[in-house]
Amino acid sequence: MGLLVDGVWHDDWYDTESTGGRFERPETVFRRWIEPDGDFPAVTGRYHLYISLACPWAHRTLIVRKLKGLEPHIGLSVVHPTMGSGGWHFDGGYPEATDEPLYGLAFMHELYQKADPHYTGRVTVPVLWDCERETIVSNESADLVRMLNRAFNALPGVDDTLDLYPGALASEIDALNERIYHAVNNGVYKSGFATAQAVYEREVTALFNALDELEARLGEHRYLTGEAITEADWRLFTTLVRFDAVYVGHFKCNLRRIDDYPHLRGYLRDLYQQPGIAETVSLDHIKRHYYTSHPMINPTGIIPAGPVLDLDAPHGRGA
Task: Assess whether 55 carries a catalytic annotation.
Answer: yes
Contact 121, 26 (CB under 8 A): yes
3-state SS, 2-68, equals CEEECCEEECCCCCCHHHCCCCCCCCCCCECCCCCCCCCCCCCCCEEEEECCCCHHHHHHHHHHHHC
Residue 239 sits in the site that holds ligand GSH (CB under 6 A): no
Q: Is 256 annotated as a binding residue?
A: no
Residue 141 sits in the site that holds ligand GSH (CB under 6 A): yes
Q: Number of residues in contact with ligand GSH, rule: CB under 6 A?
A: 12
Q: Give whichever of 142 and 155 is closer to ligand GSH, judged by the CB atom.
A: 142
Residue 28 sits in the site that holds ligand GSH (CB under 6 A): yes
Residue from 46, 73, 109, 122 in contact with ligand GSH (CB under 6 A) = 122
Residue 140 sits in the site that holds ligand GSH (CB under 6 A): yes
Stretch that binds ligand GSH, among 43-51, 135-143, 194-202, 268-276 (CB under 6 A): 135-143
Residue 81 sits in the site that holds ligand GSH (CB under 6 A): no
Residue 124 sits in the site that holds ligand GSH (CB under 6 A): yes
Backbone angles phi, psi at 210, to 5 degrees: -65, -40
CA–CA dist 167, 158 (Å, integer): 20
Stretch that binds ligand GSH, among 124-132, 223-231, 246-254, 301-309 (CB under 6 A): 124-132
Question: Which contacts qualify for 222-225: CB closer than 8 Å, 24 or more apart?
Answer: 222/267, 222/270, 222/317, 222/318, 223/267, 224/176, 225/169, 225/172, 225/173, 225/176
CA–CA dist 226, 138 (Å, integer): 30
CA–CA dist 72, 90 (Å, integer): 22
Q: Please give the biggest Cα pair distance in the chain.
A: 54
Stretch that binds ligand GSH, among 123-131, 153-161, 274-282, 295-303 (CB under 6 A): 123-131
Stretch that binds ligand GSH, among 30-38, 133-141, 221-229, 280-288 (CB under 6 A): 133-141
Residue 57 sits in the site that holds ligand GSH (CB under 6 A): yes
Catalytic residue among 14, 55, 112, 261: 55
Q: Is 123 annotated as a binding residue?
A: yes
Where do runs of H (alpha helix) occur along the chain?
56-67, 108-115, 141-150, 170-180, 187-192, 197-218, 231-242, 262-272, 283-293
Q: Give whichever of 55 and 158 is closer to ligand GSH, judged by the CB atom.
A: 55
Least Å from the CB of residue 119 to ligand GSH: 13
Task: Assess whether 189 carries a catalytic annotation.
Answer: yes
Q: Is 201 annotated as a binding residue?
A: no
CA–CA dist 52, 211 (Å, integer): 25
Catalytic residue among 47, 189, 223, 261: 189
Q: Which residues are annotated as a binding site for glutathione?
A: 88, 122-125, 140-141
Residues with a catalytic annotation lie at 55, 189
Q: Which residues lie near ligand GSH (CB under 6 A)? A: 28, 55, 57, 122-126, 139-142
